[in-house]
Amino acid sequence: MKIIVCGAGRIGKSMVSYLSYGNNDIIVIDKDQQKLDEISKEWDIMPILGNASHPEILEKAEAKDADLILAVTNSDEVNMISCQVADCLFHVRQKIARIDSPDFLDPLWCELYNPQNINIDLLISPDYEIAEAIYGIIKIPGAFSVMPLADKKLYLLSVKCQENSPLLKTPIERIEMIAPDISLSPVSVVRNGRNFIPTPEFTLEIGDELYFLIGKEEIEDAMTALGFTRPSNEKILIFGGDRVAYYLAKKLEDDDNITSCKIIEDDKERAKYLAQNLEDASVIYGEMLSDVILEEAEVDSVDVTVSATLRDKDNLLASLIAKKNGAATTISLVNSKAYNTLVSNLSDSIIVDSSSVTVSAILKELRKANIKQAHSLGRGFGEVWELEVDEHSIIADKKINDLDLPENSKICVIIRGETIIYPDIYEKILAGDKLVLYCSSKAIKKVEKIFA
């Protein structure tokens, strides 16, 4: 695909990082030459200096030949106009815009985005998506990542095996013996930075991260049976007061099970904004790593700390200090791939990869298969897709083993009506079925051809 990315900032880098793994021709537009120089050093892209909303700049980017425009600058207005110009003058087929302002996202104004007004195919709000991902982890104590599927009837969870886990030395095929009343589908395992689909005989070791699919109603019992349950999270402390923190705090305020939400912010004006726009959350103005501020925030008694600044180093350091001061669980927001090795070694800390969350929001637009929903796993290890089989599909009435799926891909779940099926390779796929499949990053192109 030929893709134009408007914006070389944090979100633009996330997009380019993921898109560069595919066979894509990527052009990046930004007004800051330094940002373009930095992104050019890391990835093979064509940099163009200028305002992405200006027709002559899009013409220079050869927009008439582009398959997709991703407008992800820090300005909602520039993103909208860039998509409008790309549509009206250059007839770009797919247009995705980053929109951060709650005013532009208000359902009251949804008619603004249509072919007659501003023709944008997909709106994304990365900070809101990241806040949603963190909230999901808070609500399922013990899980390291939480990804809903099938209208939240099914969830993809990941857990990390610790010393006391009953899963240790247990073959994957015998998990049902540990939890005989629970049905789940192991999807993949991450070990020492490598991701793979486990064989039935595979046994888990300390430090392994297991991804599995499970029905919503069975999550609590499964986490208990597998040894990953934790006390419910009621007291939350957030480091940093940017948009992710704001959106997360708003969600926590609406949750009756959350008894306390505090935010530490070192910018006076931002702290004042948060205090004025949040109802129940407490805002503490000061240096977030100060002993005095941490004591005031009662870090030793909180259930979860969330480090959500725009600086990876600060987030990781804040989590380490919070853990040392007695915080039960720590969550760190990380954007840079440079921390992959460090992330793997932080066995008792939860890492949220902002790039994976952001990319998940647009995956269904990137893939040739008719995907209803998709998630990027970990740090680009693979993807989980949700697809629906219609009566005209060439895979309808075929058995799974007749699809010739690549070795590193797997149909994990079939949802038939209200029934969740964990199929074997001889299960027949019927029209109307919803499929949930996993494919590694190397298998994506082959799997796309099967389900295109």
Q: How many CB atoms lie within 10 A of CB 33?
A: 11
Q: How many CB atoms lie within 10 A of CB 231?
A: 10
Give me the mean pLDDT over the 339-350 stretch. Answer: 61
Q: What is the DSSP string of 187-222?
A: EEEEETTEEEPPPTT-BB-TT-EEEEEEEGGGHHHH
Please check the confidence at residue 392 and state whether its pLDDT lies above 90: no
Please check the confidence at residue 362 and state whether its pLDDT lies above 70: yes
Please check the confidence at residue 387 and state whether its pLDDT lies above 60: yes
SS3 for 266?
Answer: coil
Give the pTM.
0.91
| Rounded (10°) angle between helices 10-19 and 33-42 | 30
The pLDDT value given to residue 341: 52
The pLDDT value given to residue 303: 95
- Please report which confidence band the pLDDT of residue 344 belongs to, taking 50, 70 and 90 as the band edges: low
The pLDDT value given to residue 164: 81
- Please report which confidence band the pLDDT of residue 207 belongs to, taking 50, 70 and 90 as the band edges: confident
The pLDDT value given to residue 346: 55
Give me the mean pLDDT over the 365-394 stretch. Answer: 86
Give me the mean pLDDT over the 137-161 stretch. Answer: 94
The pLDDT value given to residue 377: 87
- Please report which confidence band the pLDDT of residue 291 belongs to, taking 50, 70 and 90 as the band edges: very high
- Please report which confidence band the pLDDT of residue 342 belongs to, taking 50, 70 and 90 as the band edges: low
The pLDDT value given to residue 339: 59
Q: Which domains does the chain have, with CATH numbers?
A: 2-124 (3.40.50.720), 130-225 (3.30.70.1450), 235-351 (3.40.50.720), 360-451 (3.30.70.1450)
Q: Which two tokens stand for residue 191?
A: 């070990």
Per-residue pLDDT of 91-148, as tens digits, reads 999 999 999 987 887 777 777 887 778 889 999 999 999 999 999 999 999 999 999 9
Radius of gyration of the chain (CA): 22
* Average model confidence (pLDDT) across the chain: 91
Nearest-angstrom CA–CA distance, 151 and 132: 15
Question: Which are the contacts of 296, defined by CB distance < 8 A and separation ≥ 6?
Answer: 284, 286
End-to-end CA, the chain: 15
CA distance to 29, 32, 115, 184, per residue, from 51 (Å): 7, 10, 23, 49
Percent of the chain with pLDDT over 90: 67
Q: Are strands 25-30 and 184-191 parallel, antiparallel or unpaired?
A: unpaired
Please check the confidence at residue 405 and state whether its pLDDT lies above 90: yes
- Please report which confidence band the pLDDT of residue 256 belongs to, taking 50, 70 and 90 as the band edges: very high
Nearest-angstrom CA–CA distance, 421 and 213: 11
Per-residue pLDDT of 195-206, as tens digits, reads 889 988 999 998
**Alpha carbon 236 to chain centroid, angstroms:** 21
- The residue to which tokens 């290890």 are assigned: 381
CA torsion, ordered 249, 251, 256, 262, to nearest 10 deg: -10
- Please report which confidence band the pLDDT of residue 150 belongs to, taking 50, 70 and 90 as the band edges: very high
- The residue to which tokens 């001889």 are assigned: 426
The pLDDT value given to residue 338: 61
HSE-CB at 163 with a 13 A cutoff on CA atoms is 1
Element (H, E) at 17: helix 10-19
Per-residue pLDDT of 303-326, as tens digits, reads 999 999 989 899 999 999 999 999
Give me the mean pLDDT over the 266-288 stretch. Answer: 95
Question: Which are the contacts of 409, defined by CB distance < 8 A and separation ≥ 6?
Answer: 197, 437, 438, 439, 440, 443, 446, 447
Indicate if the alpha-carbon torsion angle 78, 81, 87, 90 is positive or negative.
negative
- Please report which confidence band the pLDDT of residue 343 belongs to, taking 50, 70 and 90 as the band edges: low
Please check the confidence at residue 22 and state whether its pLDDT lies above 80: no
Q: Are 374 and 129 in contact (CB under 8 A)?
A: no
The pLDDT value given to residue 154: 95
Per-residue pLDDT of 212-237, as tens digits, reads 999 999 999 999 888 888 889 999 99
Which DSSP category does 174 fall into? G
Q: Which two tokens stand for residue 90?
A: 């250059």
Please check the confidence at residue 345 and state whether its pLDDT lies above 70: no
Task: Categorise residue 64: left if φ over 0, alpha if ψ from -120 to 50, beta otherwise.
Answer: alpha
